[in-house]
């Protein structure tokens, strides 16, 4: 069971909506912690994510509901897998003066009317509340330091709360950014205890990011964080699953290498893909050069995936994602 941040958000679904959820509601509380509240111009906006069977009247029903509250639609993106009987997805942002004060009433009313009538899986997020993110890392620092730099510069729409590592190597680098560092060693003998400690340390976060965390999380751990863990894998999945993909790529003689950011599931490197990118290479480049090139790709792919997640741009559909970027 994922331990939610009770002060801010209580969800019946995760930050992304997964296939095994047919209906969902969110109870969003006003934050008393100013560190988790954005600037005043964002307090009166919210993001609504919807997934349901495609049918006539969805856009009209949602728009009319929002209009009755006197809200203004800022952006609306939609996608359907088929014109009739397909799966329909919507991301909508709207603004409303005093929204935080009436959020509970708004979401309860939407759930009992529009969402119920159209059998929607949906989630409503108050944009005044920052997503809390915890990071797990081992020894490679490129993806971690890029995230911390972007966070420091205000380029990630989230609050990075802490970093957990199974090595001490990056403590000073993390603490230089003013972020708490936790050392949790992992061996084959203490894996279950280590994962329980990590779960406790990360409780209250909305998302975990594996920034080259070189440990395979158990299925028990993953079940407690459903579609709330993003991993960066250093290959263009589904190619080169598992360890040392750059060497695998070199030995295969590929002409493109890449990186993949995906949600973590119990099956290794098989979760829904959020973002990917590639770079052309030649026979002249060895494993070390491929790794150097790949680290640049990894940084950018992971940063985009995290930002899209915390901006509520990702909807999970089976083993795929719809990303309104």
What CATH class does 9-126 carry?
A: alpha beta
Mean of pLDDT over the chain = 88
Kindly give, in sequence order, each residue whose CB lies less than 8 Å from that of residue 56, ignoring residues fewer than 6 positions away: none
- What pLDDT score was predicted for residue 83? 80
Instruction: Say yes or no to pLDDT of 33 above 60.
Output: no
Portion of the chain with pLDDT greater than 90, in percent: 82
The whole-number average pLDDT for the span 137-157 is 97
Catalytic one among 44, 146, 157, 269?
269
Per-domain boundaries in the chain: 9-126, 131-323
List of long-range contacts for 164-168, beta carbons under 8 Å, 24+ apart: 164/134, 164/135, 164/136, 164/137, 164/198, 164/201, 164/202, 165/136, 165/137, 165/138, 165/213, 166/138, 166/194, 166/213, 166/214, 166/215, 167/138, 167/139
Rounded to the nearest 5 percent, the helix, strand and coil shares of the chain are 30, 30, 40
Instruction: Say yes or no to pLDDT of 9 above 70.
Output: no
- Chain position carrying tokens 């993106």: 77
The whole-number average pLDDT for the span 131-150 is 98
Contact between 212 and 144 under an 8 Å Cβ cutoff? The reply is: yes
Per-residue pLDDT tens digits for 212-249: 999 999 999 999 999 999 999 999 999 999 889 999 99
Q: Is the peptide bond before 238 cis (omega within 30 degrees of 0)?
A: yes
- What pLDDT score was predicted for residue 30? 35
Instruction: Say yes or no to pLDDT of 48 above 50.
Output: yes
DSSP codes, 290-306: HHHHHHHHHHHHHHHHH
- Chain position carrying tokens 């992304």: 16
Instruction: Say yes or no to pLDDT of 108 above 60.
Output: yes
Instruction: Using the Cα atoms of residue 39, residue 68, residue 12 and residue 119 in order, give the sign of their dihedral.
Output: negative
- What pLDDT score was predicted for residue 298? 97
The whole-number average pLDDT for the span 171-177 is 98
269 is catalytic: yes
**Total H helices, total E strands in the chain:** 10, 15
- Chain position carrying tokens 């359907």: 80
The whole-number average pLDDT for the span 270-276 is 97
Select from 313, 324, 319, 301 the least CA-distant residue to 16.
313
Per-residue pLDDT tens digits for 178-210: 999 999 999 999 999 999 999 999 999 999 999
Per-residue pLDDT tens digits for 50-75: 999 999 999 999 999 999 999 999 99
Residue 257 burial (CB count, 10 A): 26
Please, what is the angle between helix 142-152 and helix 287-310, to 10°? 40
- What pLDDT score was predicted for residue 86? 93
- What pLDDT score was predicted for residue 242? 85
- What pLDDT score was predicted for residue 84? 78
Instruction: Say yes or no to pLDDT of 272 above 70.
Output: yes
At the topology level, CATH places domain 131-323 in: Rossmann fold (3.40.50)
**Residue 290 or residue 34, greater confidence:** 290
- What pLDDT score was predicted for residue 17? 53
Tell me how far apart the 2 most distant CA atoms of the chain are, in Å: 64
Say which range, 35-39, 99-103, 165-169, 172-176, has the weakest mean pLDDT.
35-39
């Amino acid at each position: 069971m994922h331990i939610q941040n009770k002060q801010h958000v209580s969800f019946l679904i995760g930050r992304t909506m997964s296939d095994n959820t047919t209906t969902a509601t969110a109870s969003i509380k006003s934050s008393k912690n100013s560190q988790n509240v954005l600037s005043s111009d964002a307090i009166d906006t919210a993001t609504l994510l919807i997934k349901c069977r495609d049918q006539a009247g969805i856009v009209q029903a949602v728009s009319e509901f929002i209009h009755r509250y006197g809200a203004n639609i800022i952006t609306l993106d939609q996608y359907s897998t088929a014109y009739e009987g397909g799966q329909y997805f919507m991301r909508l942002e709207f603004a409303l003066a005093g929204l935080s004060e009436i959020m509970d009433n708004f979401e309860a009313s939407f759930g009992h009317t529009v969402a119920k009538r159209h059998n929607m899986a949906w989630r409503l997020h108050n944009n005044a509340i920052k997503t809390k993110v915890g990071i797990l890392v081992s020894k490679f620092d490129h993806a971690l330091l890029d995230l911390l730099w972007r966070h420091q510069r205000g380029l990630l729409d989230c609050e990075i709360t802490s970093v957990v590592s199974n090595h001490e190597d990056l403590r000073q680098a993390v603490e230089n950014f003013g972020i708490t560092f936790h050392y949790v060693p992992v061996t084959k003998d203490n894996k279950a205890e280590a994962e329980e400690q990590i779960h406790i340390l990360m409780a209250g976060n909305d998302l975990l990011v594996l920034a080259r965390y070189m440990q395979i999380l158990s299925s028990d751990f993953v079940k407690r964080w459903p579609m709330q863990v993003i991993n960066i894998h250093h290959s263009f999945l589904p190619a080169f699953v598992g360890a040392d993909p750059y060497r695998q790529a070199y030995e295969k003689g590929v002409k493109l290498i890449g990186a993949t950011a995906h949600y973590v599931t119990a099956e290794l490197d098989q979760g829904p893909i959020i973002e990917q990118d590639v770079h052309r290479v030649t026979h002249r480049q060895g494993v070390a050069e491929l790794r150097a090139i790949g680290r640049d790709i990894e940084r950018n792919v992971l940063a985009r995936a995290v930002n899209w997640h915390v901006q509520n741009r990702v909807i999970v559909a089976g083993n795929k994602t719809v990303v309104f970027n």
